[in-house]
Each structure stands twice: as C-alpha cells, then as structure tokens.
Amino acid sequence: MMDLWYKNAVIYCLDVKSFMDASGDGWGDFQGLTDRLDHLEALGVTCVWLNPFYPSPNRDNGYDISDFYGVMERLGSPGDFVAFSREARDRGLKVIIDLVVNHTSSEHPWFKASREDPDGPYGDFYVWSKEKPKDITKGIVFPGVQDAVWTHDETRDAWYMHRFYKYQPDLNISNPAVREEIMKIMGYWLELGVWGFRIDAAPFLIEYEGLDEEPDRDPLLLLTEMRDFLSWRRAGGIFMAEANITRDKAPGYFGGHENGTEERLHMLLDFPANQAMWLAFARADARPIAEALRSRPQKVPGQAQWANFLRNHDELSLDKLSDDERQEVFDAFGPEKDMQLYGRGLRRRLAPMLGGDTERLKMAHSLMLALPGTPVMWYGDEIGMGEDLSLEEREAVRTPMQWADERHAGFSFDGTDLVRPVVEDGPMGYHETNVASQRGRAGSLLTQVQHLIRTRRACPEIGWGETEIIVGLPDCVLGLVCSWRGGRVLTLHNLSDQPQEVQAPLDGASHLVPLMGDAGEALEADNRIAMTPYGYCWFRVDGERR
C-alpha cells in the first residue's frame, strides 16, 4: 500500500541562508537550521521544504546553480546536510528540496563546456540557435527587469535561450543525456535522506521552446519518467510542482489512468486558488474562493493533491486575475509602485499586506489550513514578520528570521555582513515581532498558528476527503464541509470586519463539537453561530472521529 503521507502534511518552506546563522559569518547555515528544529517541531509542521542551497554564484537567491551535487560553502558541507536530515527524521520531520533543472548557472561546468565545444558531450545540453531568433523578447518572465530570453555568446558565436535571467541558460530536455542527469541528481539527494522535490518552473521544464526541431516525444513524458524513478528509489517520495497554469492543463501534470497516462506529479501548488483568495480578502467576499475551488478539475487521480498557500518566496503573482481584479488587489494590499513587481504581482509579506492585524492574520492562516489540500507555509509568517522594500525585486520577503529582540534579531550573534538586513523598524520589525516574545503567550499569532496546525493535523478529512461548499451563507463567509470515512469537519471563515450570524445546514447532523474559533461549546446542528469580525470556527460534526 502506498504511503500518501503528504495528504495530511503541513509543509514549512524556508531559505537556509536566511534562517539561522551558527557559524557567525552572517549567513544562515545547516548547523543553525538544525539548532532551530525545536521551533519547527513545536510549531507542529510535518515537512520542511528547502529553497536552493547548492553551490551557486547566488545572483538569483541560489536558483542559478553551478553544481547540483553539493552544498554552498557558506551554508556548510554535505555532511552538515546529512546531519540536519537525520535530526529532522528523528523529530518526525520529512525534508523536500528544490529541484531546479529547467536551467543552470552560466558558471556551471556543463555550460562552459557547451559553449567552448559545440561538438563535445555537452554541446547539446542547452538550447542553442546559430541564427538570431526572430523575437528574442517573446515570453519574457520578468518584464521591466529582463531584456530578452535569448542572449548571444561570443565564445560559441551562437544564441542560447534562457526563460529567466541571462545567467540562467535553459537545459535541453530533448537530449537523453540531460534527462539522465536529472535522474542522477534526484538519486543523489534521495540517498542523502530527502523525501521528495518541489519542481521549480515546471511548465518551462517540460517544453521544447527554442529548438530547431521538436522531437516526436510528448514533453510531459519527462514527468512520467521522473515519477517512475522516484517511486523505484524511495517508496513514499513525492513531487510538488510550481506550475502557475490554467485549470485545463492540470490533469496532464497529475497524469493517472483517469487521463490515459501513467501517474506523474503528486501535488500542484494551487496558484489560481491563491490569487482568488487575495481577491476575496480585498473584497471581503468569499465567493472568489468558492469559485476557485469549484473550478478544480474533477478528472485527477486519487493520489493527486492540491497545495494551498498564502505567500511564498517569490512575488505574489496575480496574473490569472483580470486587469480590473488585479487592480483591486493592488489597491488593497500594494498601492505604491515599489510594492508591485513585473506588472503582475506584489513583493510584500503576508503581515504587512494585512496591516499587521493579528485577528485578520489568524483568520488567514485558519482559512489556508481549512482549504481542501495540503497547506504550505513561508517561514516567518507564523509570527507576522515584516518586509524590506528597499531590497531589490523578490528579496523584500527573504529577510532573516526574527528570533528575538537581540542583535541581528537573534539570527546571527557574531556576524557583521548579513546575507540581508534584518527588518528593524516598525511594529513588524524584530524589536516588536519575534519568536521569543510570542512563544507560549496566549493570544499571540504564533500560539494560535500552533493551535491551528495541531487542529488541522487532527482533521484528516480536509486532506483526504470530499469537500462541499455550503451555500446560502452571507457573501463574506466561506463554509466548507470535508467528509472522509464517516467523519465530517465543518469550517466557517468570516472575511469581513463586521460580525456575522450564520446557520450552516448539514444533512443528517445532530450536533457540532467545537474544535476552535468563535464557538465555545457544543451546538445543536440547527443553531445559529455568532462570528466575530475576521472570525472563524472549526467543528467536528456529530462528535468524535472514529
């Protein structure tokens, strides 16, 4: 029987460089992360997702990789990674890592060999064109920052394609040797204890864009081959993909017999639902979320799962909204130009966008955890960390973790040249917002998020079951009933700043047992429920789960 542990997981994403510095050089490292596993264990998360930590020139926060088989020197050694991996396992935490194989750094030995010897073994590892492509700006990912998706290389006297920055040349997945290397990379890290991978830029990984001739092979087959390899090497290993795609394309990514293919990805990060959630927050209207949930494809395998999130390590992309809808979100949460990025998103953290309102932040976390699927958190959001808009592009949301009201926020006791400045000023700076000041304090955001996570883990119906959206509620209230193996969980969320009184009719229900939120005692199923501004309620229907 397959281990579908991810169905009821709570995933915590962090950047090792920004989490905890043990060496004293101002950069976070694996020893520091290992020392802070107490925090993750106490928080209640079950899986840690690591942003890239590989050797890299670090021009794009480590996503420009120069060696897939190592650890960036300032972060430690492969031995330090293994020590961290083992300590995480001993605490019941699984580890997944970023698999960034759409491109490499231009400093990678493969690219250097490819440009110097077109006829050599690495000559066809990348997407090259002898002639200048007709439109070198078509498909720009970072408008306003990126000039082109093709760059001329003088050494080879040819043009190479790069979906991202020019120092990130795209690998050529039509080359069997490239596909074999991807499997080797996966195999290496699986042997060192990881439980799976978050696939970076999945839509760009599985395309033949820029090739002179497209092979007679479905590019999605790469995901099938990767899934087969992963299953052979580690039972229970998973893929979670970054794929900001329209709903109609999702079945092809999941695969499965329902779609006439072999199984592919286990999880997709649900970008459409995330964007709908922010539109709902802007309007104080739950209907966009309900519509996004209804739009999820029904034709997906039973092992497939959606991953829900509030914020991530990049900009808050709003590209799937209409122009008017996007402007609504901009006006509500990022009205100033320096808060916006690439014309489509916001480069802000969760807490500043919600005005530092603790009650609203608690509701937002509760909502994310209540959505059908697997929740994914971004480090620091559990305490309401601030942002630094003086940093370039996406760096604004990647500042060091705020551990205490101490030098460098307790992130680095001895360092002088920090990987990034800590957020110091204002109510979301480290003097007022930090782990130490919220730990164990009743009413703090951290304490409530801990309670929420533990409640979510005790409600497998949300991760495993079928979900019904309750109709007839006020527009500002989202009501969900998740059912699995005879158990039912009801969640209600008020997105407005006004109190609401609701009744959630449930077929065949006799009573509701409160798990958390506004209701403090058991209710008859037909009772009306009073909800505070930005309030939320979790109930188990008809008593304890059996």
Q: Looking at the annotation, which residues are catalytic? A: 200, 242
* CB-based contact 399:16 (threshold 8 Å): no
Rounded CA-CA distance 505/502 in Å is 10
Neighbours of 161 (CB within 10 A): 23
Rounded CA-CA distance 518/221 in Å is 49
Rounded CA-CA distance 106/167 in Å is 5
Apex CA 217: angle with CA 214 and CA 218, to 5°? 105
In 3D, which of 432, 422, 424 has the Cα closest to residue 400?
A: 422
Contacts of 79 (CB under 8 A, 6+ apart): none
What's the residue count for the chain? 546
- DSSP one-letter string for 126-180: B-EESSPPS-TTTT-SSTTT---SEEEETTTTEEEE-SS-TTSPBB-TTSHHHHH
Neighbours of 238 (CB within 10 A): 25
The first and second tokens of residue 339, run together, are: 């808060």
DSSP type of residue 395 = G
